[in-house]
Amino acid sequence: MKIHFLPAFHGDAIWLNYNDSNGIPRNILIDGGPAETYSEKDKKGKIEFGILSDTINSIRDNEQRIDLLILTHVDDDHINGLMHWINDDVHATSLIDRIWFNSGKLIFEHFNVSDIIENHIALSVGESTDTSIKDGVTFENLIKNKGIWEYKIIKQGQSIELLDLKFRILSPDEDGLRELLHKWEKKEPESLTAASKDYKKTITELLTSDVYAKDPSIHNGSSIAFIITYNGKDMLFLADAHPEKIVEGLKHFEFTKDNPLVCEFVKISHHGSKYNTSYKLLELIESPTYVISSNGSKRSPYKQCLARIIDSKKDLSLFFNYPELAKDIFLNEDFENYPDLKILPVDYEFRIA
């Protein structure tokens, strides 16, 4: 299996490609980054297609399918690239076989509460000039009508065998879903937007009286996070999930401090935010490699988050899907104090045999 952490700006877009036991090539897409991951206009107004578009085209050109599309949660930096594709390409949904998505509609139904239509994701499929087609098209209705949405809540404790893989779902739990039972706000909590970068401090300085504080984002708390097992090897994908929920989820699957999850790599939660990696979580994981998906344009990654991981694990590799970030973040003193810290190169390939 090859795992690609696509450079999706400040968001996530992860592509898994492998052959199943019958030799059939399979593709799983976890999120699709912000809109520009699919396409953006250059200064002259010309459309330039991005890495998500290239990935989709290569799957299509090889006559393969997107066997499973997972939308971890509704934030722009995870779903807008995909919505951009679906708006742009009328054939988009015919390439997809199956979608996991805890949409507002599904969550409200799950709790038997009447739905709030503003929470649905509006589309303008094919940029149609016929407004009767354009109006009222939602992503939820489109994928339901196409029969590609599994239309079941994905939540903590589920163990799902699919496409020769095993998924163990760690987040969200019922409480994380229940918190979404209102009209959704687009704005992130103040406490998350005010911070400045902490890259001038050494790891040692950042760890002095370091105290973990919780992520207040309700949307992040609804993130679908999971362990994927392929050929007996585990990989941990944490979306933007809350560490408290991941800890609960790992404990549910009987991982403890003395019996931690041993995995090939961890996709660190929320682009390396310090609000999404706690010491309690790190105790339950044993992995040689940690992945940070961010171009550094927003607040993340926080060096404080990386400092926690580095100090807890000592001998480890970090992979940045924008590797030039490492030069901004780490000081010579950091490498002197942590000689076993390695930064993986830009062309590093994640492969699981």
Tell me how far, at minimum, the Cβ of 75 lies from Zn ion, in Å.
Answer: 5
Only segment of 54-62, 71-79, 155-163, 293-301 that touches Zn ion (CB under 5 A): 71-79
Say how many residues touch Zn ion, by CB under 5 A.
Answer: 2
Q: What one-character-per-residue DSSP string does 318-338 give?
A: EEESSTTHHHHH--HHHHHH-
**Among 70-78, 146-154, 171-179, 292-300, the segment contacting Zn ion (CB under 5 A):** 70-78
Residue 235 or 268: which CB sits closer to Zn ion? 268
User: In whole angstroms, what is the distance from residue 266 CA to residue 238 CA?
Assistant: 8
222-261 residues in contact with Zn ion (CB under 5 A) are 240
State the nearest-atom distance from the C-beta of 186 to Zn ion, in Å: 14
Cβ closest to Zn ion, residue 36 vs residue 311: 36
Q: How far apart are CB 171 and Zn ion at their closest, in Å?
A: 14
Are 138 and 209 within 8 A, CB to CB? no
CB of 240 to Zn ion, least distance (A): 4
Q: How far is the CB of 237 from Zn ion (least distance, A)?
A: 13
For the bound state, the minimum distance from the C-beta of residue 14 to Zn ion, rounded and expressed in Å, comes to: 12
Minimum distance from residue 12 beta carbon to Zn ion (Å): 6
Task: Considering the complex, state which of residue 14 and residue 165 has its C-beta at the smaller distance from Zn ion.
Answer: 14
Tell me if 77 contacts Zn ion by CB under 5 A: yes
What are the helix (H) ranges across 253-294? 279-282
Alpha carbon distance 8, 149 (integer Å): 24
Nearer to Zn ion, 202 or 220 (CB): 220
Cα separation, 225 vs 157, whole angstroms: 11
For residue 71, the one-letter residue type is L
- How far is Cα 126 from Cα 44, in angstroms, rounded to an integer? 22
| 162, 28 contact by CB (below 8 A) | no
Which range touches Zn ion (CB under 5 A), out of 75-83, 105-113, 142-150, 195-203? 75-83
Count the residues in the chain. Answer: 353
Q: Return the number of the residue (140 or 240) whose C-beta is nearest Zn ion.
A: 240
Query: Which lies closer to Zn ion via its Cβ, residue 77 or residue 215?
Result: 77
List of E strands, the chain:
2-5, 14-19, 25-30, 39-41, 47-49, 68-71, 99-101, 159-162, 165-171, 225-230, 233-237, 261-262, 266-267, 285-286, 289-292, 316-320, 341-343, 350-351
Binding span for Zn ion by CB under 5 A among 13-21, 74-82, 110-118, 318-326: 74-82
Binding site for Zn ion (CB under 5 A): 77, 240
